[in-house]
Structure 1
Amino acid sequence: MAPLFRVEGLTFAYPGRAPVFDGVSFELQPGERLFLTGANGSGKSTLLRCLLGLLKPQAGRIIAFGEEPKTEAEFRQLRCRAGFVFQDPDDQLFSPTVIEDVAFGPLNMGLSRAEAVARAEEALEGLGLSAFRDRIAYKLSGGERRLVSLAAVLAMRPEVLLLDEPTNALDEKTTDRLADILTNLPQAMIAVSHDPYFRAEVGTRELFLHKGTMVDARPAGETARRMGVPGSVG
């Protein structure tokens, strides 16, 4: 089966700095829930942004859904198929009400107002958030805003989810709820997380970024712990 994402020899450095990662390669297969972990500053969030063309790597290839996007127009199309859930929901939610936030993506894809609202309502219902439909997003709790930001991405019906620290600042109850939601979604996903319990609950595979290179751990976490990779346990 063809991978959804294939990354070959990816290298990225911020101006005037050493490479964050150098020659990284991996694949995301259909049905996988792939977790990226490693020490702070190891390049996990940077890697997600490179996959979607939000940052431009200095070397390497990104093949997504069998094609290699190069122009901004091609990356815009990719972002409709691979939905990005930001680490901070406030970077994603900006409309007056929840329903408008969740409908924004489908509207931006060219759907009619009625179609976009229908998709938004479907996504909210699927996450048990229908009661928040007409609420003001910034007045919700942090956990509620995080779930609404996930609904906003799911309303676009992506084939892959990219999640940056999805449990950041969540309490245990909301973390458990999010774990249940993600394990029952059909989409393959790539997620960044420092939470070893969440990774063990949701993930099917882990990749550890360490000193610019990548360690593939099977079963999740064990190889990295044996190697003493920093950040491998949270």
Structure 2
Amino acid sequence: MTLLSTSNLSVTLRGRAVLTDVSLTLAAGEVVGLIGPNGAGKTSLMRAALGLLPHRGASSLARMSPRDRGRAVAWMPQTREIAWPVSVETLVTLGRTPHLAPGQRPSDADRAAVTRALDRMALGSLRHRTATRLSGGEQARALIARALAQETPLLMADEPIAGLDPAHQIATMHCFAGLAKGGHSVLVSLHDLGLAARFCTRLVVLDKGVIVADGTAQTVLTPQLLRDTFGITAWFETTSQGPVFQPLEVV
């Protein structure tokens, strides 16, 4: 089942092409890592695919009505701002909005979805805490939980693990892998190539607004691509505990 399809998606901002003819398909059961250097176009691709940026080309999500899109995909942007001093539980409950009619109160099923999301992010003990008083890492986890509470077929997250400690980075990636095993799909932009190699079923590499590689970590993270796209050398080996990737030097 296809959850996202783009065809020749292009974006121009302030007279500069930031995305050029990107065609991409995501199927159920995938964790797709969107990787590339700073300024490669990762955020622009995700926002254009959602219909949040003016673009040329086509996106299956951008064609949907806002309500249908809210039921098809959960979006976690890179910007992490919690504007109101509400409880963590209330913040996460906002993820259920696409499933509610105007003025409708959350049902038992909605509250159960919120509890599942809080538990996945290990926030159960903080559910009554004021969200604006959490640490930066805790706020990030609460915003991930809000996206998880939406319980959509597709989750798109822009650098969701940035600022998290190592344990919560790994736990979040395990959560995404669990969603994929349950038939959902995740498109996640990452700068940590080690976690991308370890947890993503597929890597899509963007550079200068175009896709330069798409495949498994073993086929994508070649010495030549790492040198040409990221300007680094690295050690990469499949071990008894799974893929292990370590950047080594700038070239």
Return the TM-score normalized by structure 1. 0.86
Identical-residue share of aligned pairs (%) = 26
More divergent stretch after superposition (101-110 vs 2-11): 101-110
Q: Tell me how far apart the structure 2 counterparts of residues 122 and 157 of structure 1 sit (CA, whole Å).
A: 10
Matched, 1:197 2:194: yes
Deviation at 1:27, TM superposition (A): 0.6
Match of 2:106 among 105, 109, 113: 113
Q: Is the 8 A contact 1:82 1:159 kept in 2?
A: yes
Q: Which amino acid aligns with 2:5?
A: R
Structure 1 residues without counterparts, runs of 5 or longer: none
Alignment match, 2:135: 141
Is the alpha carbon distance of 1:42 and 1:112 closer, same or farther for their aligned partners in structure 2, counting shifts above 3 Å?
same
Deviation at 1:100, TM superposition (A): 0.7
Aligned with 1:28: secondary structure? strand
Cα-to-partner distance string for 1:13-39 (whole Å, 9 max, x where unaligned): 113x22101111111011111111111
Say which structure, 1 or 2, has more relative contact order (CA 8 Å, 6+ apart). 1
Deviation at 1:221, TM superposition (A): 6.1
Is the alpha carbon distance of 1:167 and 1:158 closer, same or farther for their aligned partners in structure 2, counting shifts above 3 Å?
same
Aligned with 2:7: secondary structure? strand
Q: Tell me how far apart the structure 2 counterparts of residues 232 and 79 of structure 1 sit (CA, whole Å).
A: 38
Q: CA RMSD in A?
A: 2.2
Aligned with 1:100: secondary structure? helix
Deviation at 1:95, TM superposition (A): 4.7
Q: Tell me how far apart the structure 1 counterparts of residues 230 and 71 of structure 2 sit (CA, whole Å).
A: 32
Deviation at 1:157, TM superposition (A): 1.1
Q: Tell me how far apart the structure 2 counterparts of residues 229 and 51 of structure 1 sit (CA, whole Å).
A: 27
Aligned with 2:78: secondary structure? coil
What does 1:43-192 correspond to in 2, within 5 Å?
A: 43-57=41-55, 59-64=56-61, 69=63, 74-90=65-81, 94-107=84-97, 109-110=99-100, 111-115=104-108, 116-185=110-179, 186=182, 187-192=184-189
**How many residues of Structure 1 are paired with residues of Structure 2 in the alignment?**
224
